[in-house]
Structure 1
């Protein structure tokens, strides 16, 4: 994941969620404007799986079932059968990327829903178990009401909105692209057998009764805010929690795993902030505090970069970012696990970069923090 995080800036949470989706055998949705590296990111994720059958297709209202599921065998027609040749098509894929997924025609939709939910493909009327690990869908916009796409939208257990890079990351991207990213050709790979072992560990992972009670309380708070995830979404959420725990090296779900549900329990974009706030109330205090500080830092930097002529406000933003950086350093003694240490380090570097960017914009020279993490 570190390799991809260096290549795809500001996409760490998406990369981590994709690995959770692979282990949990769930589907992921990416929504964002053209040019946000959705397809390149997904193909790079698939490349990390050694032996992975990867299928990618751009959908439109004119896309035919043959393009996704394979042509009908002429020999089978001679035998009064209707069997598709699925070689190199979606029914034989481990990871599938469907671009502009909401433009699928009704002729494709029903077969797609069954495949995404049950991992079954009906060929000549007989159900065939597919090797599908995850479907990753992408779209430039959310489906509009009345398009009868709610069932398809619900099949995506993790959802992300992507935007163009921030100012600091944008410069890093240009520098990386100009220098070939400075990354060796070696790409760490996970075999399909390794992935299956992780999936089995996820199946065995336990969820304490205390966590189940917490999920009930979270549901109650969401309902108070007018947010009503389906029962099925909470059940699928358990698999996400278990996969998140396994990737952190544990066999039991903890409060710190609840953060993954911030990308699962919302239905409308306007609900994301409320869902995140509620989860932080019930989740791991360290993770919640870290997320709040980073959100605050991003907001401060965004406002400063949008108004470069406001020198006094920019100076306040620089001071605020420095204060947030010190608070992150103060949190270091509480980062008791490797995952927390990694998250703290990554987010400290993010805040440090925001500070550099704003300072350079205001005073035409970079300035670093005069403090650092010890690890």
Structure 2
């Protein structure tokens, strides 16, 4: 794991009790330049955690606003310039407002009314704000939205809900031990920081994280399994999710996406709450690390061969039986070599094959001298 992000992640986990998944989601979203939605009751620390973005990245601009049904565009996009208004131009003073911010936290985001909604949708998706028809390129990287409840059908908020690639339910602290720690804690969070330039370097590195054909195949399998259950995430959503997988791998200090990284899609690929459980099951089924499963199976089979070989060398079996075990061991080593060719970035396979070859050399010497 990158040292800077590990220190930040550890510090946030120590500060916000029982919020490991939410902390990882926040950092993943920042690295992937995507948006995250936290849904849950008041008093669960959604705003406190989200506001840390304004402290973590020095040199960045941070915007925060609570929406109500009566919120006006001025609260997010700035007041109208009176000078321009006199000349018939509706130009807003966006300095210090959402369009010119790198990060933002919008509390009760689903209270956005029609006067706010269209501009908000364009800003979130395209990073553009039209000020009197003139497009302004926004530096916006990540918006964190929060709500106490999900949207209801017919409210016209489906497009806004869809703009958030990551969606997490945040509940009250579950474990008593974490609750007691929270109650005893009186220290203010002291989270390590990085500057805006350093963050952009990390984001560029995330873009270089490799996604193998095997991962693309797994994504296609997940998509088909979801379709079979009547769950149809958009192609755009799948495409955007690639950045989450790269960011997840980067947080773990890897330069290649692993099947285990796919688990984050449990918080991405569902559209309605009744799809959440089935989506999680399908993603979990396809995100098992096939490399580690293969290594465990090879280790078990090879260890059994070594055990039988040691018994044979102690006079419990004939030389023919020992030679047969040696042949089986070489066959397993060949399987590891073939599997390694398909997963060249997994160094665990190199270690396994080296161990097998060393043990087989010892066994071959023992057979010759038997």
Q: TM-score, normalised by structure 2?
A: 0.73
Pick aligned residue for 2:117 from 109, 119, 124: 109
Long gaps (5+) in structure 1: 290-335, 338-375
Matched, 1:239 2:248: no
Aligned partners of 2:94 and 2:100 also within 8 Å: yes
Aligned partners of 2:78 and 2:97 also within 8 Å: yes
Give the C-alpha shift of residue 19 in structure 1: 0.8
Q: Which has the larger radius of gyration?
A: 2
Cα distance in 2 between the residues matched to 1:287 and 1:144: 42
Give the C-alpha shift of residue 172 in structure 1: 1.8
- In structure 2, the CA distance between the partners of 1:80 and 1:152, relative to structure 1 (3 Å rule), is same
RMSD: 2.1
Give the C-alpha shift of residue 263 in structure 1: 1.1
Aligned partners of 1:115 and 1:121 also within 8 Å: yes
Pick aligned residue for 1:205 from 200, 206, 209: 209
Instruction: State the partner residue of 1:37.
Output: 45
Give the C-alpha shift of residue 287 in structure 1: 12
- In structure 2, the CA distance between the partners of 1:48 and 1:22, relative to structure 1 (3 Å rule), is same
Instruction: State the partner residue of 2:199.
Output: 195
- Once the two structures are superposed, the pairs formed by residues 233-312 of structure 1 within 5 Å of their partners are 233-285=237-289
Cα distance in 1 between the residues matched to 2:63 and 2:90: 23
Cα distance in 2 between the residues matched to 1:288 and 1:233: 28
Long gaps (5+) in structure 2: 1-8, 294-345, 348-370
Aligned partners of 1:281 and 1:288 also within 8 Å: no
Deviations 1:79-134 (A, max 9, x none): 44221111111011111111110011101000000000001111121111111011
Pick aligned residue for 1:96 from 84, 104, 108: 104
Give the C-alpha shift of residue 167 in structure 1: 4.1
Aligned partners of 2:212 and 2:257 also within 8 Å: yes
Instruction: State the partner residue of 2:31.
Output: 23
Runs of 4+ in 1 over 3 A off after TM superposition: 284-289
- Once the two structures are superposed, the pairs formed by residues 1-375 of structure 1 within 5 Å of their partners are 1-168=9-176, 169-176=178-185, 180-181=186-187, 186-285=190-289
**Which structure has more RCO (C-alpha within 8 Å, separation ≥ 6)?**
2
Aligned partners of 1:222 and 1:228 also within 8 Å: yes
The count of residues paired between Structure 1 and Structure 2 equals: 286
Give the C-alpha shift of residue 6 in structure 1: 1.1
